[in-house]
Structure 1
Amino acid sequence: MVSTGAVPNLAFRQLRGQRSAGEFAAAVRRAAREIGEQVACDARYIGRVESGEIRCPNYAYERVFLHMFPGASLADLGFSARESVRGRGARSGSAPSAPAALSASPSASDESHRTDEESDVLRRVFMMGGTATVAAASLGLGGPSASAAGVSLPAQRRVGESEVDAVEQAVRRIRVLDDRRGGDGLYRQAAQPLRAAYELLDTGTTTRRAVADRLHAGAGELAISVGWLAHDSGRFEDARSHYAEALATARLAGDAGLEAHAFCNTSFLARDAGRPREAVRAAEAGQRAARTLGSPRLLALLALREAGGRAGLGDRTGCDQAIGRARAAFERGSAAGDPEWMSFFREAELELLEAQCWSALGDWSRAARHGRRAVTLQDAHFTRNLALYRAQLAGDLARAGKVEEAATTGHQVLDLLDRVRSSRIRGMVAGAARVLEGRAGSSGTESFLTRHRELGGARPSPSGV
């Protein structure tokens, strides 16, 4: 919780000069791009800095601000020293004597503050004495039988194997639940273990480099997982913030695998948010990071992310070339260097991503061919993807004029929506329904449209998912 006694940052306000908060935020974003950083800065973030709510920026913002004002220190910019915000000094005086339990659900007022680079504030909530529970069970989503044993974090913040195991288990738990349910119902609860993981990273100590490396990787992967839940549920700015946090963590730790993963998801998000050029750049950066990792499948996925961006730019030749590289790398097969998080990337996913490329280029029939293969190949274990692949196929079939097949496929998506909560998928099936509205007439099409309306229309989210 932010203290009501925040001291306004007058130095930072002076640096803004006559520019509006929105204009200054745009300058921050431009400066970030100049040095290869990604920050989701807007007028609200600038207001929070100027009000003193953000006493010290996170590492990504720090690099951007110091780039904007060469020769200045954080103190010159009106910020507090990091150790006074994140270290023992931040926990003295007004800090509560007992921590917030990770199993508690965040309030609506807490949730309303989670935009921009908000993980910096969220971490500080957990910088206090006592103990904190860090475990997959803290998600509170699977019931007693699905919960893992909690791990007690001692007051001296000594981090060992058990704490790191808990962070890694939280990542796996989120991924399993996402495969089954989609992101909408998970995002708020999944933010809780993310806070605790970064609190461990910021204030914990360990004498073993291997444990420290695992903790950095685990915290970064957790940030990406939570970012994906935000992405899937239409919270694009939240997703961008979490992915940027993971990227900063990767660079600080020198973790090429985590960096490649962060760029992979950043590219995916940029494509969905209508920023295809950024999608291409992020995918290319991910490929550079992944070259030494010994994972052809990872390079294949990153090439497909690039292809998606190039399709968004209308670059058919570049898209086709990137798809060709992806298929060649995929055919090299699995390898010891394949990261754990890529378990979803099988032939079905490759077909789906290619279908999305041709769809973006307006080649609906070709997209539908790949979409059918994706549906046929999909593993029934991934419930969310069963709905996703069919939603993509329904839209492509509708646009290709195959209205009956599109309606039948649309019915299959609706059959799954009681189990899968994903704004992204609902938006896709709503898009298919809009196309079919103009081509209605057959009993099958009318049946699907009626059922879709009865289920609430599955409207896409305001962010465009």
Structure 2
Amino acid sequence: MGANVILKGRMGELGLTQDELARQMNVALEELGGRPGDVSARTVRNLLNGSTRRPIGRTCAALEAVFGCPVSALGFDPPRTAAQAEDPVHRRTFLVAATGTAVAAATPPRRSRLGQSDASRLHGEYAELLRDDARVGGERRIENKAVELAVRIQSSLAGGGASDRVRRQMYRLASDATCLAAFAAIDARAPQRARTHLDKALPLAGLARDGEAVYRVWDHLMLTSSQRENHAEAAAGAEVMKRSPVARRDPLYASLGHMRHANALARLDQRTEALRAMNLAEKAFGRARGEQPPDWISFYSPSEFDALSSYFWTALGDHTRAEFCLHRTLSAIPGDMVRNRALYTAHLSLAQARQGEVELAAATGRRVYEMLLPASGSLRTTKTLAVTRQVIEATGTKAPEAVSWIEESRRWT
């Protein structure tokens, strides 16, 4: 009885630990059957070490949901009912046993076939939400609409009737929409809510068998860890990103992974390792191909590289260099990225305040409020301005411009 090297390899491709696979299997079972799963790390160990050669029932269903393939493709013996499972009636019986879901015994309804036009139409809805998020950010309306879109996509897939190519596209789109909901929650400084979305996004990315989708989930998981001040976990998440297959293949993804790692290490006061990671991020970014990247990572442009670099230098206490990076960002950022322009202007105000330029910082902070759209829910931005106010207040300044801004900012931070 040998170890299951195929399962171990697939887990490595998705960056899954034993505990993480158990968690994702439980999430998948709840999605399938409406009740929480009871998969433990011990269950996963038995799957890996060969103790379990033929997973059955809910364990089988969960593995197939997470990895998007039959258990036989994961190095296991196929279920003894596999021959029956091809028949629709027996397949429904199997799913009832596996998930506890009640299925009507009547003849299944006629299925409409999903095609490329359906995938394109739904992608158009997603792209519109992505543009709205870039404008306002952190708005609960966008978060809810992204969740609703992901649910509609999964519902359309539940009846089957799609080619493998279209089905994978749709699962990728459902994962991307769920990640968009998560990022809206991150922008609203609600990391636990974001984590809930991401728990659902990772199995969807697995069903899509798409390394870029998996990478995006890990990127957002890393951000939730950082927002919760768990920088060790953030660094571990960034390690998964930079070692992923897509990062080994594409220097743009490699660069973002190294950049996230550099920022996490800087916040852990590991200066030498952080500088090394930043150097790797710069080199990989310079090698990035000129072709159009996927929608979500298109944000990682030269202006964004400078913005994330400013966070890095801020964490190392070099506020002069952080300010330089932010000026470069704001001179190059696209005009439609209103949320990011306001966020980075707020960080510019903070960098100026930390250098003792209190009147300049106040004037910059006032510009931020003028940029923010009324619907904006970007608490990342207003939180940064609140920290700026604290820094200015701590100087004891009596400068009229600064004092005026301190009082004014209390109304909206």
Q: TM-score, normalised by structure 2?
A: 0.75
Partner of 1:256: 211
| 1:350-407 Cα distance to aligned partner (Å, 9 max, x none) | 1111111122233323222222222222222210111010111112221222212211
Q: Whole-Å Cα distance in 1 between the matches of residues 404 and 167 of structure 2?
A: 57
Query: Which residue is 2:95 aligned to?
Result: 83
Structure 1 runs of 4+ with >6 Å offset: 68-76, 85-88
Provide the C-alpha distance between the structure 2 equivalents of 1:184 and 1:85, rounded to a whole number of angstroms.
41
Distance 1:267 1:400 in 2: 29
* Counterpart selection for 1:307 from 247, 262, 272: 262
In structure 2, the partner of 1:450 is 407
- Determine the C-alpha separation between the residues in 2 that align with 1:196 and 1:385: 29
Offset at residue 224 of structure 1 (A): 0.9
- Change in 2 beyond 3 A, CA 1:337/1:417: closer
Letter of the structure 1 residue corresponding to residue 44 of structure 2: H
Q: Which has the larger radius of gyration?
A: 2
1:227·1:242 contact (CA, 8 Å) conserved in 2?
A: yes
What's the % identity of the aligned pairs? 24
Other-structure match for 2:383? 427
* Contact in 2 for aligned 1:295/1:336 (Cα 8 Å): no
| Alignment partners' CA distance in 2, 1:349 and 1:177 | 18
Contact 2:307–2:326, Cα closer than 8 Å, also in 1: yes
1:158 partner SS: coil
Map 1:229-268 → 2, pairs under 5 A: 229-268=184-223
Alignment correspondent of 2:90:
none
* Residue 67, structure 1, aligned to residue 44, structure 2: yes
Residue by residue, what CA displacement relative to the aligned partner does 1:420-456 show, whole Å, maximum 9, x if unpaired?
A: 3211111111111111122231111112112212x34
Aligned mates of 2:154, 2:44 — CA distance in 1? 25
Identify unmatched segments of 5+ residues in structure 2: 1-15, 63-92
Instruction: Check 1:396–1:208 CA distance in 2 against 1; reply closer, same or farther (3 A cut).
Output: same
Aligned residue number for residue 166 of structure 2: 211
Given that 2:313 and 2:321 are in contact with CA atoms closer than 8 Å, whether structure 1 keeps it comes out as yes
In 1, the alpha carbon distance for the partners of 2:337 and 2:218 equals: 24
Where 1:162 maps in the other structure, the secondary structure is helix
After TM superposition, give the deviation of residue 68 of structure 1 in Å.
7.9
Mapped to 2, the partners of 1:176 and 1:56 lie a distance apart of 35
Instruction: Choose from 137, 146, 155 the match for 1:199.
Output: 155
Query: What is the CA-CA distance between 1:165 and the residue it aligns to?
Result: 2.1
Q: 1:375 is matched with which residue?
A: 330
Residue 168 of structure 1 deviates from its aligned partner by: 1.6
Match of 1:273 among 213, 228, 231: 228
Alignment equivalent of 2:357, drawn from 402, 408, 413: 402
Change (3 A) 1:63 1:227: farther
Q: Within 1, Cα distance between the matches of 2:371 and 2:22?
A: 35
Q: Is the 8 A contact 1:351 1:373 kept in 2?
A: yes
Query: Superposed, which structure 2 residues align to 1:344-383 within 5 Å?
Result: 344-383=299-338
RMSD: 3.6
Task: Give the conservation status (yes or no) of the 8 Å contact 2:167–2:208.
Answer: no
Q: Does the aligned pair in 2 maintain the 1:243–1:266 contact within 8 Å?
A: yes
Counterpart Cα distance in 2 of 1:304 and 1:75: 39
CA gap of 1:89–1:313, structure 2 versus 1, over 3 A, is closer
Matched, 1:384 2:396: no
**5+ long unaligned stretches in structure 1:** 1-31, 94-128, 130-153, 459-465
- What amino acid sits opposite 1:191 in the alignment? V
CA–CA distance in structure 2, aligned partners of residues 63 and 340 of structure 1? 36
* TM-score when normalising by structure 1: 0.67
Give the secondary-structure state (helix, strand or coil) at the position aligned to 1:331.
helix
Classify 1:216/1:381 alpha carbon distance in 2 versus 1 (closer, same or farther; 3 Å). Answer: same
Aligned residues of 1:182 and 1:421 also touching (Cα < 8 A): yes
Measured at CA, do residues 200 and 370 of structure 1 come closer, stay the same or move farther in structure 2, by a change above 3 Å? same
Tell me the CA shift for residue 34 of structure 1: 4.2
Higher RCO, 1 or 2 (CA under 8 Å, sep at least 6)? 2
Tell me how far 1:266 sits from its aligned partner.
Answer: 1.5
Q: How does 1:54-203 map to 2 (within 5 A)?
A: 55-57=34-36, 62=39, 64=41, 66-67=43-44, 83-84=95-96, 90=102, 92=104, 156=111, 158-185=113-140, 186-201=142-157, 203=158
Alpha-carbon distance, 1:178 to partner = 0.5
